[in-house]
Amino acid sequence: HTHTHTHTHRHTHTHTREAYDDKQVVTEIMARCFIPTLITTTSWESFHFIGHEIRITEAMDCYGAVVWPSALVLCYFLETNAKQYNMVDKNVIEIGAGTGLVSIVASLLGAHVTATDLPELLGNLQYNISRNTKMKSKHLPQVKELSWGVALDTNFPRSSNNFDYILAADVVYAHPFLEELLITFDHLCKETTIILWAMKFRLEKENKFVDRFKELFDLEEISSFPSLNIKLYKAVKKNRRSV
């Protein structure tokens, strides 16, 4: 659904091993998505992860209700790195969950998932999560409203925030609320929480946010997909006591 801009200024030595790997993996990631040929009133797509067909209904009237490539990258990462990032029985929260694909994949991998987003997205989010995890997931995911920076102490009191992982895909896109996003990341994080965050770089804004983010968190790029302009990061709170 997103327009791909061809970047003419990309490095000329595209035939390097890395570029080849990127193309291979990107092809594999994109192949997980099946768009039905029959146009129906509700638009949906189907995705293949963890041996399941995941059907996602998209609401075309708002941003958060379309599956972006960053979500696919994050799902693919979770599935292919399930040993190193074991989700079984872990407490996981997704911010800006949108259609719920990432939360569904984390749930199918065995996590206790809380999928969060703005109130107007929760209906579609709940629908997608329920239909794709019922009878399949070890723990039924929860869906909760989370508007960044709003009522965090009330709805997510620090004392009960016990998240092993925070998942985020493309949360920086077109948002004026980046400071609130930062506050939210900070609020949900304990010393041991790991943030896994996939982001498509479209504008200067993304770089600015990354710089701001680095003031509070240790950020590590764990993979990069140049052909999609997407990077996957792992982050932990700065100056946490060494475990």
pLDDT at site 209: 85
pLDDT above 70 covers a percentage of the chain that reads 83
- At 150-169, the pLDDT tens digits run 999 999 999 999 999 999 99
Q: Is residue 163 part of a domain?
A: yes
Q: Decide if 64 contacts 103 (C-beta within 8 A).
A: no
Helix 122-133 to helix 101-108 angle (10° resolution) is: 30
Q: What is the pTM of this model?
A: 0.85
Give Cα separations from 163 to 33, 94, 104, 166, 213 (angstroms): 29, 10, 17, 7, 19
Length of the chain: 243
Q: Is residue 6 part of a domain?
A: no
- The residue with greater pLDDT, 72 or 206, is 72
pLDDT at site 63: 55
Q: Is residue 2 part of a domain?
A: no
Q: Is residue 114 part of a domain?
A: yes
Helix (H) or strand (E) holding 133: helix 122-133
Write b or e for each residue in 189-225: b if 16 or more Cβ atoms lie within 10 A of its Cβ, otherwise e: beeebbbbbbbbeeeeebeebbeebeebbebeebbeb
Q: Is residue 44 part of a domain?
A: yes
Q: Is residue 182 part of a domain?
A: yes
Separation of first and last alpha carbons in the chain: 43
Helix 204-213 to helix 178-188 angle (10° resolution) is: 30
One-letter amino acid of 211: D
- At 113-153, the pLDDT tens digits run 999 999 989 999 999 999 999 999 999 999 999 999 999 99
Q: Decide if 124 contacts 103 (C-beta within 8 A).
A: no
Q: Is residue 5 part of a domain?
A: no
Total number of domains constituting the chain: 1
Q: Is residue 1 part of a domain?
A: no
Q: Beta strands of the chain (E only): which ranges?
A: 33-34, 43-49, 52-58, 91-95, 112-117, 142-145, 165-169, 194-200, 217-225, 230-237
Backbone angles phi, psi at 27, to 5 degrees: -60, -45
- Structural domain boundaries, residue 88: 11-237
Q: Is 234 helix (H, G, I), strand (E, B) or coil?
A: strand
Residue 131 sits in a domain whose CATH number is: 3.40.50.150
Distance between CA atoms of residues 80 and 230, nearest Å: 17
pLDDT at site 62: 57
Lowest model confidence (mean pLDDT) among 10-24, 102-116, 177-191: 10-24
